[in-house]
Amino acid sequence: MKLPRMVQVRQHFTGPTVEDIEEEVWKQLSLIGLESKVIPGARIALTAGSRGIANIAKIIKATVAKLKSLGADPFIIPAMGSHGGATAEGQVKVLASLGVTEEYCGAPILSSMEVVQIGETERGIPVYVDRHASEGDGIILIGRVKVHTDFKSPIGIESGIMKMSAIGLGKHKQALAIHNYGVEGIRDFMPEVARVVLQKANILCGLAIVENAYEHTAMIEAIPTDQIEEREREILKFSASLMPKLPVDRLDVLHVDEIGKNFSGTGMDTNIIGRMRILGVEEPASPAIKYVIAGDLSEECGGNALGIGLADLTTRRLFEKIDYVKTNENVITSTFLQRAMIPIILENDREAMSTALRCSWGVNPEQARVMRISSTLHLEHLYVSEALLPEIEALGHVEIVGELEEMQFDADGFFI
């Protein structure tokens, strides 16, 4: 089969960038009067999630330094549900893969799957908090605010500080309690759990992070506890305005070089590829992609292949890296089983691409609408096929930086 020729392009995005992380963290924490909330010797818990957030280790390190300057005794807790195989040791490894270590951040990491119940919502859902955090004198919620990969919220609360206070602080037990209700649980019940946490746990403040389309830190904002829900709604709108996307929204084939939870909680960002794969949930109308190929699994995700079910084709290389214990733990907790279903397995990228093109009915392979990206998180540099050039050239924010050439594979049939 004659494959389409490809050319490298670069998307240009706009958005602010925080130049000095430590300075901004200290400034924000001072603006909300952290000095008056912390007494010398106070043990303060800092939440550290499982997402690959730009500068997350620096942000936590700066927060630790600020607290120590006030005489406090900060510690870090892995704030995640089923990630890391839902084990204390596994979650420490997840943090280490993000650069969050005791040595770098200057504070101990206290990892446990034990929680304590601090109340329940009006509809009877129990509310839990990490045991170590509950035994401290205060908690600072650190997390990124962005659109969620499972739902669109009618009240403007998706992925952010509220979710961190609920599922992050509540660990695996809270994740199970919420995800047992499917999309309704994460969309509607999660904010209710978060409100109980904000009322009953000793939350000192939230530290919200927003990234621009280049994955640079665009904003860091400390939020007083009683303003977290209201302010998060506004921050979510700002975050959504900075979010990158594919330059065209109709494709025959999208090849994603790597998937993994360090790129998105769903392995591939559902907002980028236009797929949800949740029972009973309607698929987005755009972008419309006939076939998605997952080429490889990132080393950082440690074998957790949640999101592989969003693809139609994959490679033996990826398949052999899957850790079924980690993957199953994560997907069963979420209850979105389709996202872990294994697609058709091909020997390499070349075979996967050829198969997808052969199954694109009525399309001349050389004129197919094909795109190749490194991951759904990295959308600045990508490859597009010759058929897409007229649309690409008409876009003001996309620059053609290479020459048309045949698809380049190595001796084993994988993309170079």
Q: Please write the tens of the pLDDT for every residue from 332-343.
A: 999 999 999 999
Q: Over the Cα atoms of the chain, what is R_g?
A: 22
Q: For 355-371, write each residue's pLDDT tens digit.
A: 999 999 999 999 999 99
Q: Is the pLDDT of residue 75 over 90?
A: yes
Q: What would the mean pLDDT of 184-205 be, rounded to a whole number?
A: 97
412: closest CA among 300, 292, 297, 315?
Answer: 315
Per-position DSSP letters for 344-392, written without gaps between them: EEESSHHHHHHHHHHTSTT--GGG--EEEES-SS--SEEEEEGGGHHHH
HSE-CB at 81 with a 13 A cutoff on CA atoms is 22
Instruction: Report the pLDDT value the prediction gives residue 384, as an integer from 0 to 100.
Output: 98
Question: Phi and psi at residue 368, in whole multiples of 5°?
Answer: -70, 150
Q: What would the mean pLDDT of 265-269 be, rounded to a whole number?
A: 94
Q: What is the pTM of this model?
A: 0.88
Q: For 361-415, write each residue's pLDDT tens digit.
A: 999 999 999 999 999 999 999 999 999 999 999 999 999 999 999 999 999 999 9
Look over the chain and give the mean of its residue pLDDT values, rounded to a whole number: 96
Q: For 48-61, write each residue's pLDDT tens digit.
A: 998 889 999 999 99
Q: For 100-156, write each residue's pLDDT tens digit.
A: 999 999 999 999 999 999 999 999 999 999 999 999 999 999 999 999 999 999 999
How does residue 280 score in pLDDT terms, banded at 50, 70 and 90?
Answer: confident
- Top pLDDT among 9 and 301 is at 9
107: closest CA among 122, 95, 97?
Answer: 95
- Beta strands at 115-120 and 126-130: parallel, antiparallel or unpaired: antiparallel
Instruction: Report the pLDDT value the prediction gives residue 83, as an integer from 0 to 100.
Output: 82
Q: Is the pLDDT of residue 260 over 90?
A: yes
Instruction: Report the pLDDT value the prediction gives residue 84, as an integer from 0 to 100.
Output: 85
- Beta strands at 381-385 and 370-373: parallel, antiparallel or unpaired: antiparallel
Neighbours of 234 (CB within 10 A): 12
Q: What would the mean pLDDT of 181-203 be, rounded to a whole number?
A: 96
Distances (CA, A) of 288 to 53, 185, 203, 275: 28, 28, 42, 9
* Amino acid identity at 79: A
- Token pair of 321 as six digits: 């890296």
What residue spans of 1-87 are helical by DSSP H? 21-31, 34-37, 56-69
Instruction: Please give the share of the chain, as a percent, with pLDDT higher than 90.
Output: 93
Q: For 159-182, write each residue's pLDDT tens digit.
A: 999 999 999 999 999 999 999 999
DSSP label at residue 226: G
341: closest CA among 294, 274, 286?
Answer: 294
Location of structure tokens 């860091």: 220
